[in-house]
Amino acid sequence: MRLAAILLLALMTVTGHGAEDSDIGYPSPAAALAALKKNPDAQFSVMDGWTIVSTKENGNLVMWSFTPEGHPAHPAAVKRTMTRKDGAWYLDMKVLCGGTKANCDKLVEDFKQLNERMTQYIREHHGT
């Protein structure tokens, strides 16, 4: 799963990123993390205090990022789903953030920048 390794590598370079849509499929970041812990296919790691989870949903790679305690946007969960259609990669990002509006907006902007770098890398190394 080379793409998963690429995404994990990209996650290590930045601490924080987000999106406008907050429908992560769970009522809270804690509920999302608890559900993922019950998923035998989920792969967990911790990087700079962030809990990172990779799994698949409907055949698509899903990368979750959970803020560490003490992070200004905590508790927050960022769900990024990578899909490929007609040879092109698409990234859908959803964020549920419990911090202040300013801290959550910063989280979103950070992840947007990371997503742009990931998308550029994928285009350069995997086409489209």
Contacts of 13 (CB under 8 A, 6+ apart): 114, 117
Give the global pTM: 0.79
The residue extents of the domains of the chain are: 2-126
Q: What is the pLDDT of residue 27?
A: 94
Torsion from C-alpha of 100, 105, 106, 107, nearest 10 degrees = 90
Ramachandran quadrant class, 74 (left: phi over 0; alpha: psi -120 to 50; beta: rest): beta
Least confident of 21-25, 39-43, 113-117: 21-25
Residues 65 and 83 sit within 8 Å (Cβ to Cβ): no
105 or 4, higher pLDDT: 105
Helix (H, G, I), strand (E, B) or coil at 42: coil
The residue-averaged pLDDT of 39-60 equals 95
Q: What is the pLDDT of residue 87?
A: 79
User: 91: pLDDT confidence band, cut at 50, 70 and 90?
Assistant: confident
Q: What is the pLDDT of residue 84?
A: 82
Tokens of 86: 């007609």
d(Cα 128, Cα 39) in Å, to the nearest integer?
Answer: 32
Distance of CA 22 to the CA centre of its chain: 12
